[in-house]
Amino acid sequence: MNTRVLSNGTEIPVLGLGVWQVDDGVETEQSVTWALETGYRLIDTAQAYGNEVSVGKAIRESGIPREEIFLTTKFYPGGKDARVEAEKSLERLGTEYLDLYLIHWPQGGPTWAWPGMEAAVEAGLTKGIGISNFSATELQELGKIAQIQPAVNQIQFSPFEYRKALVEACEEANVVAQAYSPLGTGRHLGDPVVARIAEATGKTPAQVLIRWAIQKGLSVIPKSTHQNRIVENFDVFDFELDDAAVADLDGLDKTHGTADALSQSGKWWS
Ligand SMILES: NC(=O)c1ccc[n+]([C@@H]2O[C@H](COP(=O)([O-])OP(=O)(O)OC[C@H]3O[C@@H](n4cnc5c(N)ncnc54)[C@H](OP(=O)(O)O)[C@@H]3O)[C@@H](O)[C@H]2O)c1
């Protein structure tokens, strides 16, 4: 599996499975099991998703050594203390450590939760810490107070939400950007430009969108609860989008290359 090296020295796979809006229980267990069988080694969950128990069960029952799997969860920023909440996540996941623990979004400002995140590292609860839905400005504010710099910023990213300036700010800060909703939560799969490129490359729309994000240098975490799609989404390492296809996809951006993680109204771009 291709990986990116994080600022804490660990390696994050460039492709993983996301499990937002996947029910705790059989649905999550099956999705994670199928993904691990397919070769995925990165699983992305969150305290807010309510499915950490099933993610942990599927990982344990896979028989794959824990250290071969990169496990991310996210601090729900409605909570008070990120370190305490990390302990509860570990209990639910039934594992000894996290590979990555992210602040899910900058509710209450970009800095207040960070000391608790750093305390989670110091207590050995997680190897890495990072952020999600932070703008370039919020990232810079955090950088000023951080003893441990964030390793990852997980952001909404696809050709339609191509936050070019935000990704560049992450690169400058040595923060790996990770693409969530790479398929637009399914909305971008029917786009005619994506369909045309898919046909020309002999791949599917989902594969084109995932490949585009990988070629932009991001780690990408598509979600599916269907085994055939989980397999399909992983089959993106045998082709490359050429410059013309990349340029056409870049042209779909609706964010004007923003450095923001959210639109000004606080709502998602689309
Ligand atoms: N940090 C954050 O604030 C945040 C926010 C959103 C998402 N995320 C993370 O990013 C992950 C992915 O984002 P997402 O869940 O918004 O959606 P996504 O990966 O962009 O798209 C998932 C949707 O596309 C469908 N799909 C997946 N593969 C497909 C394929 N090959 N062909 C046809 N349809 C396909 C899925 O349906 P089925 O499941 O029915 O197959 C689902 O409806 C999340 O699960 C979560 O881990 C993080």
Of 40, 49, 162, 180, the catalytic one is 49
Q: 77-100, pLDDT tens digit by residue?
A: 999 999 999 999 999 999 999 999
Which pLDDT value is given to residue 265? 55
Collapsing DSSP to helix, strand or coil, 42 comes out as: strand
Which pLDDT value is given to residue 33? 98
CA of 119 to the centre of ligand 1 (A): 31
The annotation status of 256 as a binding-site residue, yes or no, is no
The answer to whether residues 29 and 54 touch, using CB atoms and an 8 Å cutoff, is yes
Instruction: List, in order, residues 6 or more apart from 93 with CB less than 8 Å away.
Output: 52, 53, 55, 56, 59, 71, 73
Q: What is the residue extent of each domain of the chain?
A: 10-256
227 lines ligand 1 (CB under 6 A): no
Please provide the DSSP assignment of 111-155 as one string. Answer: STTHHHHHHHHHTTSEEEEEEES--HHHHHHHHHH-SS--SEEEE
189 lines ligand 1 (CB under 6 A): yes
- C-alpha distances in angstroms, 120 versus 32, 81, 99, 161, 234? 25, 10, 11, 32, 32
Query: What length is written for the chain?
Result: 270
CATH of domain 10-256: 3.20.20.100
Which pLDDT value is given to residue 268? 41
188 lines ligand 1 (CB under 6 A): no
Taking the C-alpha atoms of residue 145 and residue 262, their distance in angstroms, rounded to an integer, is: 23
Which pLDDT value is given to residue 15? 98
- The segments of the chain whose pLDDT lies below 70 read 263-270
Which pLDDT value is given to residue 262? 83
CA of 159 to the centre of ligand 1 (A): 15
Determine the straight-line distance between the first and last CA of the chain, rounded to whole angstroms: 32
Give catalytic status of residue 180 as yes or no.
no
222 lines ligand 1 (CB under 6 A): yes
The answer to whether residues 188 and 161 touch, using CB atoms and an 8 Å cutoff, is no
- C-alpha distances in angstroms, 265 versus 107, 261, 268, 270? 15, 11, 8, 12
